[in-house]
Amino acid sequence: MAYLFLVGAIIAEVIATSLLKSTEGFSRLWPTIGCLTGYAVAFALLAQSISRGMQVGVGYALWSALGTTLIVVIGVLFLNEPMSAAKVAGVGLVVAGVVVLNFAGAH
């Protein structure tokens, strides 16, 4: 059950982060409300995931790494951000770090 809450937290965080540009520095009301609501939901679901037995380090690592990876993909596909070898390598290193953390502390 903890992983379901974590998936929800990741989705909410990715939606909120995707809305950041459209808030125009938090000067547009509805995108700002959507963004802040998404972050509040993300943190609430992350807290639920951790309170249901997931280790804090593992939960946060998964949340941040998967969120970062998805945001990079969304940026390239929908926000006209360039893809580069450095970006691919960076995301790969983040994912590798999470894998190592899971092997070291998840069991």
Q: Tell me the per-residue pLDDT of 3-24, one tens digit each, with 9 for 90 and over.
A: 999 999 999 999 999 999 999 9
Is residue 107 over pLDDT 70?
no
The predicted pLDDT at position 95 comes to: 87
Distances in Å between the Cα of 82 and the Cα atoms of 6, 12, 21, 89 are 29, 24, 16, 14
The predicted pLDDT at position 104 comes to: 76
Q: What rounded mean pLDDT belongs to the chain? A: 92
* Contacts (Cβ under 8 Å, ≥6 apart) of 31: 19, 22, 23, 24
- The amino acid that residue 68 corresponds to is T
Q: What is the pTM of this model?
A: 0.87
Average pLDDT over residues 28-45: 98
Domain spans in the chain, listed from the N-terminal domain onward: 2-105
The predicted pLDDT at position 106 comes to: 54
